[in-house]
Structure 1
Amino acid sequence: MALMSSSTMPKRPSDPLDIIDVDSMLTDEERAIRATVRQVCDDLVEPHVVQWYEQGDLPVARELAKEFGKVGLLGMHLEGYGCAGMSAVDYGLACLELEASDSGIRSLVSVQGSLAMYAIHAFGSEEQKQEWLPRMAAGEAIGCFGLTEPDHGSDPGSMRTRARRDGDDWVLDGSKMWITNGSIADVAVVWANAGEENGGIRGFVVPTDTPGFEAHELKNKMSLRASVTAELSLAGVRLPAGAVLPDVTGLKGPLSCLSEARYGIVWGCLGAARTALDAARRYSMERTQFDRPIAGFQLTQAKLAHMSTELQLGRLLALHLGRRKDTVGLRPEQVSVGKYNNVTKAIEICRTARTILGGNGISGEYPVMRHANNLESVLTYEGTVEMHTLVIGQTLTGESAFR
């Protein structure tokens, strides 16, 4: 058998982080959408994100939302009402590019589109959709999603926030914790226990200027610092009958929304990993020790090879799930596999990249520690790694280990 000549040998990858050519599986349109989001991030986010992170705030969140709305990023995978109607893969690629800049930026878009907008789009009345979705798609109105409580995160069925009927009105009392966009939101999708006689867990579309609604921004975060995070307080919040989401009852509502957002995380976390890996790769070729670049040492190459392989496998998994979502849909356990694998591998990549940078790895001059810190939040929110482990375990065995 003749060996291939040098003229017929495949060329080295144009992107050293894509050795197996995952990009070849994307369409020209998908690559164009990715390029647009990358350019938006380069122009609007990259010059400022380190400062925002150090401040522990996202002071331009509303301005960013409007800019993202101009290019169709908000609710981009939803149809109608001013939404772009793009594919799940398009949305995933956008999430990856957003989180390559910072997890907080991707969270802004994810909470707006996959939680608040999706809830109204999937379960809202026509009046609710017409009132809110066009403005939210344009970034003119900001939404948040009130599910997690101070004492109930992984067990939302035990929430203490209550909704009671008072004539034709609803009255809400309770609190919600760790709510992205909470203190800048114009509308909150709040989940409350309305009692078995009213369908159990119900969702409510709550304008944030309603009397009794308050949001207090949370400070002193060590992770996801370039993001607005708040605690919501609802004290006798009176809403008209039309505020309830009419087309869903029970935990199906919030859990369906979480599946949408988790799908974006499957892609998004890989952006953080890609940035960290690229920083470590470049640093290793520039940093010299013992009169040679540290990229030439076997242990450094072993780290880079492992990180690169995990990143590429994560991209393949995300793309597979995205293609299925666009054709036949995803089951919850499939989303759990994606979040469980990709977030745990992404945080491992960031931590390993930090070791290549040595002491410089903890410096804000490099993006690695910022991404590693952010992923500590991503590892926990919208389903902890433990919960997704048990979802996968239940699928494998048929036995529930939640209780």
Structure 2
Amino acid sequence: MFKRLTSTLKLLKMLDFKQIEHLNEKLNLPEMIQAVSNLNDNQLQGLEKLLKGTNKKHTLPPIHADFYEMDQKLSVEDRTLQLKVRSFMEKEVQPIVNEYWLHDEFPFEIIPKLAQLNICGLTYEGYGCAGKSSLMEGIIASEMARTDSSVATFFGVQSGLAMGSIYHCGSEEQKEKWLPKMQKLEVIGAFGLTEPEVGSAVAGGLTTTAKKTPNGWILNGQKKWIGNATFSDIVIIWARDIDDDQVKGFIVQKDNPGFSVEKIKDKMALRIVQNGLITLKDCVVQETDRLQHANSFKDTAKVLQKTRAGVAWMAVGCARGAYENALAYTQKREQFGKPIASFQLIQNHLVEMLSNLTAMQTLVFRLSELQDSDQLKDEHASLAKVFCTLRTRDIVSKAREVMGGNGILLEYNVARFLADAEAIYSYEGTKEINSLIVGRSITGFSAFV
């Protein structure tokens, strides 16, 4: 009997005060002591083992979304740059992003700080640009979108679409004039292709016109959904030449007579991005501001091909941000007395999210390798855009699901990723259009109207 009581007291010592207090509320301790005294040695050992497990502190693994260690493929220099961008986004953007997203405003104070990273126009040679790989350009897009897709979009328009149009289609004089200032974010650019009535059909249906006259080119028409347009210094406007029916590009400055911008309001996604409706009414542009090597839509498509790969990377970042926030939440959120991350159904959702994210990461890495070796084709970029944006929608939806009602609150971040994923899904070519590009490649038949 003495041995039993000693064992019982030993077991009670293994409990902390709160656990004993809780037991006293639920059970009659004298009766419990008597019941424990009646246990045999094997039963006592089992109970002791169980109680030890109760007091054992559970160490959680770090939140690591690069499950296949793709970052190991980077050089030390590139990995350092990746972490530098990550740190910037976490320190400068994360604390303010929800407030700006809620109020449909842009955090202009981050532009000088972003310029200090020296990453704008990362892949271009010369003009103050670093001349780095497309892989690093994609990684930076992903790192930005991991914290906020709107800031990533702002940067993509500036560094990819606007600077890319001048870099790939401009004259040497135009490159020297604009690219160094744009690289330093001293001049902000925008890219005007989509129109109110023309989205997917831009290749053959632009309604914005350009007419050459002795006094310069006269532009008329409208452009819609133009990111950065409300505060940009220049906008690349793509218009159909009335005389030869070919698409041409123009550098239009914000103070050009006949140029005006109206902010698009009431968006449910990418609310920090300042999209504009541009109206061109007899807007005069000099020949020196016509992109000298943009003579058909094929030249426009060169720019879109490269930036479409960037959108796939951005989708990866958006998905990663949602996954990481959701995983952290499930490790802390308790229901039925334990973290919901310990439940089978929640773990199943998390594993499905990670599976899709890992597939996306490996796909875009290979995509950038093709781009860096000059093997990138339209269908490669389109397949990545289709797959990554589809899977991102699935990941952000599951992230919202595992967070329950809290998933729709901005303070938990996932609601923002959920909304922004819808815009990423549609811009730079819808899922349907990009699917037809891939379909044409693999079947040999064009299904375009």
Question: How high is the TM-score relative to the length of structure 2?
Answer: 0.84
Cα root mean square deviation, aligned: 1.5
Matches of residues 2-401 of structure 1 in structure 2 within 5 Å?
A: 16-60=64-108, 63-156=109-202, 157-167=204-214, 169-197=216-244, 200-401=246-447
Q: In the alignment, is the contact (CA less than 8 A) between 2:294 and 2:300 conserved in 1?
A: no
Q: Letter of the aligned partner of 1:50 in structure 2?
A: N
Displacement after TM superposition at 1:292 (Å) = 2.2
Q: How far 1:291 sits from its partner (Å)?
A: 2.1
Residue 385 of structure 1, CA deviation: 0.8
Higher relative contact order (CA 8 A, sep 6+): 1
What stretches of structure 2 of length at least 5 have no aligned partner? 1-59
User: What code does the residue aligned with 1:209 have?
Assistant: D
Cα shift at 1:177: 0.1
SS of the equivalent of 1:316 reads helix
Deviation at 1:186, TM superposition (A): 0.6
> 2:110 and 2:429 mapped to 1: Cα distance?
27
Larger mean CA deviation between 269-278 and 252-261 belongs to 252-261
Q: Does the 8 Å contact 1:56/1:226 carry over to 2?
A: yes
The whole-number CA distance in structure 2 between the counterparts of 1:176 and 1:382 is: 15
| Cα distance in 1, alignment partners of residues 66 and 192 from structure 2 | 38
Whole-Å separation in 2 of the counterparts to 1:51 and 1:248? 40
Q: How far 1:59 sits from its partner (Å)?
A: 4.1
What is aligned with 2:37?
A: none
Task: Encode CA deviations 1:303-341: one digit per residue, 9 max, x unaligned.
Answer: 111111111111111111111211233101000111111
Which has the larger Rg? 2
d(CA) in 2 for partners of 1:366, 1:228: 23
Aligned-partner residue type, residue 299 of structure 2: G
Amino acid of the structure 2 residue aligned with 1:180: G
The structural deviation recorded for 1:19 is 2.7
Runs of at least 4 residues of structure 1 off by over 3 A? 12-16
State the alpha-carbon separation in 2 of the partners of residues 400 and 66 from structure 1.
46
String of CA shifts for 1:227-262, please: whole Å, max 9, x gaps.
Answer: 111111111111111121111211112222111221
CA contact (8 A) 1:168 1:241 kept: no
Q: How far 1:72 sits from its partner (Å)? A: 1.6
Q: Using the alignment, how far apart are the partners of 2:66 and 2:193 within structure 1?
A: 38
DSSP 3-state at the match of 1:178: strand
Unaligned runs of 5+ in 1: 1-11
